Amino acid sequence: MLQLAVIRENTQKVLDGLAKRNFKDREDVVRQVIDNDQLRRDTQKILDELKAKSNTDAKKIGELMKSGKSEEATSLRASVASDKEKVKALEVELDTYEKKQLELLYKLPNVPTEKVPAGKSSEDNIVVHEKGTVPTLHGDALPHWDLIKKYDIIDFDLGVKISGAGFPVYKGKGAKLQRALINFFLDEAEKQGYKEVQPPIVVNEASGYGTGQLPDKEGQMYFVTEDNLYLIPTAEVPITNLYRDVILSEDELPVKNAGYTPCFRREAGSWGAHVRGLNRLHQFDKVEIVQIRKPEESYQTLEEMTTYVESLLTKLELPFRRLLLCGGDMGFSSAMTYDLEVFSAAQQRWLEVSSVSNFETYQANRLKLRYKNKDGKTQLLHTLNGSGLALPRIVASILENNQTKDGIRIPAALVPYTKFDIIN
């Protein structure tokens, strides 16, 4: 959530940033925020003055009674009673303005940092670099949705039988490959100083608002109606919310957490060849990395986190590229995002496998996540997270890029985890 002070003091900068996102209602919403805030501040001032007057007058009543001025005391008592009724009305009015303020602020996405390019869609993203070698496959090479049937390692039909489309069943070496990747990613994160956590996979409404999934993405989340809980779309939500309403000391920073969870996304409106097979699922596994940093450290941290995720792709022997997302393609809460894509040799296309984002103070302001510096002053922190990594498209790329006429070769880094080096 954007800070009110930032909107008031840097209005044009905020509007320019929202224009970079192509946020159509920016001028109207920002104007409403500023106008509503002024009404709130004016009301607060009147309320404070009236409370002060009422308290002063209440004290005078006793003095007047002691002095035998009962008529004046009675008149003043009636005035105080009237002022108390006015105070109640003003408090209701103030509460209305404060609720309206939150509703308006929730409508505003984060302002992109200056480095983020303007643009409307993924076509306007900037390729930062490409690394790795795209493999040359044999003439009978297959896409992963055919390979999984050939080797009987993932079954979509069984998933449909049990749950519906987008819920695959992993079998045999397919299940072992999933488990191997999860353990590999967690072990690598631990080597980088991340503390592993295993959070709940359902969250309450406050958690959804805390990290920005609500009210922006409620249509993409599975909702448990009777309990008012949401299945998590990513471990970012519960892990970051561990620090909601928390004031950290400098000695507790930086915070570095990693966690594996299943993730659930309705993906409403998704169809076509680009979502075939493992390319897009309703349930999938992912290891998430989350950091909480001082503001002056966060952009260096974003680079370090992205480089770390790239190292995972290198160890898995997958060709990849880094993209700097344009304003129109970024997530609602992000100030800057890098996407990492791997090249699928059988599909002849790039597949997104990770997004690494800096949210600056946007989430921290919603979460009331602050730290106390050595001078005793409190300040909002910056939150960052990234996929380290999401499994479905990694599995798809491993299967497709490593297929041979004798079977599917397992990357050397995974063999200690899978306990086999080929799927045949």
Cα–Cα distances in angstroms (integers) from residue 175 to residues 170, 264, 304, 344, 421, in the given order: 5, 18, 31, 21, 15
Helix (H, G, I), strand (E, B), or coil: what is residue 301?
helix
CA distance 28 to 11: 12
Judged by DSSP in three states, 410 sits in: coil
Clarify whether residues 326 and 368 are in a common domain: yes
Average pLDDT of every residue of the chain: 96
Calpha distance 229→213 (Å, rounded): 13
**Tell me, what amino acid is at 151?**
Y
Question: Domain range spanning residue 42?
Answer: 4-107
Q: What is the pLDDT of residues 11-61, one digit of tens each?
A: 999 999 999 999 999 999 999 999 999 999 999 999 999 999 999 999 899
Half-sphere exposure of 329 (CA within 13 A, CB side): 19
Residue 284 counted as domain residue: yes
Same domain, 25 and 168: no
| 100 and 186, same domain (yes or no) | no
CA atoms within 13 A on the CB side of 308: 28
**In this structure, how many other beta carbons lie within 10 angstroms of the beta carbon of residue 74?**
13
Measured distance CA(66)–CA(73) in Å, rounded: 10
Known binding-site residues equal 234, 265-267, 288, 352-355, 385
Question: Of 366, 149, 409, which Cα lies nearest the Cα of 276?
Answer: 149
- The candidate with the shortest Cα–Cα distance to 342, out of 414, 268, 302, 392, is 392
| Residue 103 shares a structural domain with residue 131 | no
Are 371 and 281 in a shared domain? Answer: yes
Lowest-pLDDT range, 185-194, 212-221, 268-277?
A: 268-277
Name the DSSP letter for residue 272. S
- For residue 271, the Cα-to-chain-centroid distance in whole angstroms is 24
Q: pLDDT tens-digit profile of 138-165? A: 889 999 999 999 999 999 999 999 999 9
Residues 182 and 73 in one domain: no
> Each residue of 222-265: pLDDT tens digit?
999 999 999 999 999 999 999 999 999 999 999 999 999 999 99
Answer yes or no: is 64 within a domain: yes
Give the global pTM: 0.94
Q: 110-119, 282-291, 369-378, 403-412: which has the minimum mean pLDDT?
A: 369-378
> From the annotation, which residues make up the binding site for L-serine?
234, 265, 288, 385
**Could you tell me if residue 112 is inside a domain?**
no
Token pair recorded at residue 381? 């922190």
pLDDT given at position 268: 57
* Residue 114 domain-assigned (yes or no): no
> Are 299 and 352 within one domain?
yes
Specify binding-site residues for ATP: 265-267, 352-355
Query: Is 116 within the bounds of a domain?
Result: no
Look up the CATH number of the domain holding residue 93.
1.10.287.40
Residues 62-93: tens digit of each pLDDT: 888 888 888 899 999 999 999 999 999 999 99
Q: Are residues 198 and 67 in the same domain?
A: no
Look at the chain and report how many structural domains it folds into: 2
- 94 in a domain, yes or no? yes
- From residue 259, give the alpha-carbon distance in Å to each of 233, 304, 385: 13, 18, 11
